[in-house]
Amino acid sequence: MTAGTRSLPPGRYRFRHVARMEWVKLASLRSTWATLGITIAAAAGIAVLAAAGTKTPSVDLVNSMMTGMFAGVLLAGVLGVLAVTSEYTSGTIRATLAAAPRRPLVLAAKAAVFGIVTLITGQAAACLAFFAGRTALGHGIAAPALGQPGVLRTIAASGASLALIGLLGLGLGAIIRHTAAAVAVLVGVVYVGELFLGQLNRTIDAYLPAYIVGDSLGGHTCRPGAAACPLPAWAGMSVLAAYAAAALLIGGCILAWRDA
């Protein structure tokens, strides 16, 4: 903490002071930078493989290049869980709440810092995946351009989805407080739900996170005879944001009511 922050008595910290502390904690962990680096590398690497394997120009090239974002979404969610549960595991949550007793403020600052970091990472990963994929396209296949309809929207939405799933993981971490359990719930919500809940009731398929990231944000439209139709991109983003907001709200209430 800086000297300006230390001059404030406990309980008098404002949002910017708590956010600065949360940034120091997040940035000081090597796992943070390793995870974010792997996220960017995986997105670019999978985009290159997907583009190199493309044999026909009729394929949705941009959405194919964004396939690697699926790995990043899971990594960001796990990192969000760890951003909260690691403090409970190490016991540092007590020091955090002693310095800043306003618990909802602590979670809000943590979510803001984490959300900004993962949003920047997500946009960087999506942009790198797009340009890396373009260079790997085979001869005779026209590379998509940013100015084409829906391309920039797909890239931006794919990058933002990483931040939203990361915030969902952060909220689940605040609710459950146990790393393994929270990660299991996250994987169940994001991936297993698509495999089982969507199969049980195809009408809810479009509202499941994995389906949204894979189809709605990619700009897919409803195909004739399809069992489930993707939501429009803006609607899919709104659903992901609602999931993250609900998890953070519940996590904030639990943080305020329960002992650390």
Report the distance separating Cα 248 and Cα 174, nearest Å: 8
Report the distance separating Cα 1 and Cα 228, nearest Å: 51
What pLDDT is recorded for position 234?
Answer: 86
Q: Is residue 227's pLDDT more than 60?
A: no
What pLDDT is recorded for position 142?
Answer: 80
Q: Is residue 143's pLDDT more than 90?
A: no
Q: Is residue 19's pLDDT more than 60?
A: yes
11 dihedral zone (left: phi>0; alpha: psi -120 to 50; beta): left
What pLDDT is recorded for position 1?
Answer: 42
* Reduced 3-state DSSP string for 122-164: HHHHHHHHHHHHHHHCCCCCCCCCCCCCCHHHHHHHHHHHHHH
Q: Exposure of 201 by Cβ count < 10 A (0-12 exposed, 13-18 middle, 19+ buried)? A: exposed
- Give percent of the chain with pLDDT exceeding 90: 45
Q: For the residues 20-35, what does the mean pLDDT come to?
A: 90
**Which pTM does this prediction carry?**
0.88
Report the distance separating Cα 160 and Cα 259, nearest Å: 33
Q: Is residue 199's pLDDT more than 80?
A: no
What pLDDT is recorded for position 253?
Answer: 94
What pLDDT is recorded for position 34?
Answer: 92
What pLDDT is recorded for position 5?
Answer: 44
What pLDDT is recorded for position 165?
Answer: 95
Q: For the residues 118-144, what does the mean pLDDT come to?
A: 89
